[in-house]
Amino acid sequence: MNNRWFWKLLGSYLKPQWRSFIVLMIIWGTCTYLETSNPKVLRQFIDSALGHKHISMIYSLALLFLGFGLLSHSLHVLMTYVGERIRWGYSNCLRLDLTRHCLSLDHLFHRDHTPGEMIERIDGDVNAMSHLCSRLIISLPAHLILLAGILLQTTHEHWIIGLTFSAFCIVVLLVLHVLRRVTEKAWFQERQSSARFFGFLEKHLADLAGHRERGAHGNVMQSFIHYASTLFHAGRRAHIMGNLQVLLIVEPLFFLAKVAMFLLAAYFFKTGVMTIGTVFLIDSYTNMLHHHLGAIGQLFQDFQQAGASITRIRMLFETKPTLRESAVTHQLREVQV
């Protein structure tokens, strides 16, 4: 996949929606503050309860914790709504431009590509790309901002904890970036098989009466099984390759990080550097780190899957008519206009 072409295309369609991006940035910042502050409120609650503080203070901390949680979930709903509006706005514009480009191509192109295949390439590939872009617009910046907030908070608690968290994040992100390229070819084959399958369906569903007259049901069903089987095996191979990477490489890294955090927290608690509330805070940040890095890993898998669709969209845009208009035809068209 040509990353430079993809970001250029995405930027050209997202530029008119810059106001919505400002709203998203404000929501991102607020959600980051709430999600990183909530474990600190819980730490104060635990330490206050164990320290026999006044009951009114404990009630206030409990209400503050619940308020932060409710507000954070509400903002996530709003962020999803704004992101989906952006997604459908630019994806419909992309579908329109891609359809116009295909209609401008000559009959040789449409002879080699059935209408069913074109529907799958224009709608299916754009839908896969827009789903990825929606995740890039909403999820990736939110997860990265939250990771930065977690790293700052843990470094503030103790520099050794912050350094361990930072090293773990860098290693996981580098591994995910390297693994992203491995399965892109498998997803490209899956998208190609999907387009051929839907092209076959459109072609033969439009000629059901002719198949009945010729008695060609057996041959059609045999071809149907062939195309469906090819699509199934291509999709299964791509999914297995993506899931094995996570299970065999990424999850063991998460396990090692969890063990390291527990050992460090136990040592600092035993030496009196941290309270039991701070230990619980570190555990909460470890779980948050696991969750957000796992979500980023899923996003990298989506990027592998959508990379094939993006490549096919670029190939479609780069397809040029094989027949050129003569000068006389061009002049006649200008006269008609």
Specify the pLDDT at position 39.
86
Half-sphere exposure of residue 241: CA atoms within 13 angstroms, side-chain side: 21
Query: Whole-number mean pLDDT of the chain?
Result: 78
Higher-pLDDT residue of 326, 163:
163
Check residue 335 and give its pLDDT.
Answer: 47
* pLDDT computed for residue 337 by the predictor: 43
CATH code: domain 3-324 is 1.20.1560.10
**Confidence tier at 56 by pLDDT (50, 70, 90):** confident
Q: What is the pLDDT of residue 223?
A: 80
pLDDT confidence bin for 336, thresholds 50/70/90: very low
pLDDT of 307 higher than 80:
no
Q: What pLDDT, on the 0 to 100 scale, is given for residue 4?
A: 75
Read out DSSP for 130-180?
A: HHHHHHHHHHHHHHHHHHHHHHHHHHHH-HHHHHHHHHHHHHHHHHHHHHH
Domain locations in the chain? 3-324
Q: Is the overall model pTM greater than 0.75, yes or no? A: no
Q: Are 306 and 178 in contact (CB under 8 A)?
A: no
Give the orientation angle of helix 18-50 with respect to helix 276-318, to 10 degrees. Answer: 160
Angle value at C-alpha 26, between 21 and 28, nearest 5 degrees: 90
Structure confidence by residue, pLDDT tens digits, 61-88: 889 888 888 998 898 888 888 888 888 8
